[in-house]
């Protein structure tokens, strides 16, 4: 009787899906949540370990890094402890740059406006079917020259004009460079590509220089 009762009770026990053995109905299985499973022992037992705590990164980690490097920490710091961005170029340098750029474009435009046919003939460039195309482009270049002189007069108040000058240089570099690499370009226009490339870089540096306005006297 006892053997039959044990047999019937063991048949009512749920079967362990891992070991194939039957466990009592009141057995509470382990829940593998927020723990690390290390090994599975016989009879479905497991040795559990709590998860390791992840290192907490402080919210002011940037300042902790700066504190480790005194030279980096004090870079750009004023005497009152505030940080200011040093301008890439001085005001005098920016004014000189755009003054030279303005005179350069004015002279180039004036040369193509008044002596375009002679320049084309001496350099072997085929003449256009109408000189109005060249003269209009020369006048547009002279307008940009006046804009550069306006920036040179007050680079702080006229800083919003600098991107237009950068676009002018960028488009010339793109057009001449494209035809130079694909179908060829007359030698007359190639030197201007390198000059405009240098000006484009300098214009970008000048645009990044946050100059302070001249105090009113």
Q: Over 50: is that where the pLDDT of 70 sits?
A: no
Q: What is the pLDDT of residues 93-114, one digit of tens each?
A: 999 999 999 999 999 999 999 9
Q: Over 90: is that where the pLDDT of 13 sits?
A: no
Longest dimension (CA), the chain: 126
Residue ranges of the alpha helices (H) in 69-189? 70-73, 91-123, 132-153, 162-182
Q: What is the pLDDT of residues 107-149, one digit of tens each?
A: 999 999 999 999 999 999 998 999 999 999 999 999 999 999 9
Most confident of 50-59, 70-79, 121-130: 121-130
Q: How many helices, marked H, and strands, marked E, lie in the chain?
A: 7, 2
DSSP characters for 8-77?
A: HHHHHSPBPTTT--B--TT--PPP-SSSEEEEE-GGG-EEEEPPPPPPPPPTTHHHHHHHH-HHHHTTTB
Average pLDDT, the chain: 76
Please say whether the beta carbons of 76 and 85 come within 8 A: yes
User: Is residue 6 exposed (0-12), middle (13-18) or buried (19+ Cβ within 10 Å)?
Assistant: exposed
Q: What is the mean pLDDT of residues 54-60?
A: 53
d(CA 146, CA 99) in angstroms, rounded, equals 9
d(CA 164, CA 96) in angstroms, rounded, equals 18
Please say whether the beta carbons of 137 and 131 come within 8 A: no
């Amino acid at each position: 009787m006892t053997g039959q009762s044990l047999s019937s009770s063991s048949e009512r026990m749920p079967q362990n899906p891992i070991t194939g053995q039957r466990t009592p109905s009141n057995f509470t299985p382990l829940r593998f949540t927020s723990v690390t499973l290390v090994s599975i022992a016989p009879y479905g037992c497991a040795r559990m370990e709590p998860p390791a705590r992840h290192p907490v990164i402080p919210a002011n980690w940037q300042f902790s890094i700066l504190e480790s490097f005194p030279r980096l920490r004090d870079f750009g710091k004023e005497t009152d402890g505030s940080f200011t961005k040093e301008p890439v170029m001085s005001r005098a340098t920016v004014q000189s740059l755009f003054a030279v750029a303005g005179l350069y474009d004015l002279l180039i435009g004036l040369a193509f406006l008044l002596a375009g046919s002679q320049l084309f003939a001496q350099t072997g460039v085929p003449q256009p079917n109408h000189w109005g195309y060249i003269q209009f482009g020369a006048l547009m270049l002279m307008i940009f020259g006046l804009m550069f002189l306006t920036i040179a007069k007050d680079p702080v108040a006229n800083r919003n004009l600098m991107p237009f000058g950068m676009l002018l240089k960028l488009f010339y570099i793109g057009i001449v460079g494209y035809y130079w690499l694909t179908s060829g370009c007359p030698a007359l226009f190639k030197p201007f590509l390198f000059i405009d490339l240098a000006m484009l870089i300098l214009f970008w540096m000048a645009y990044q220089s946050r100059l302070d306005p001249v105090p009113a006297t």
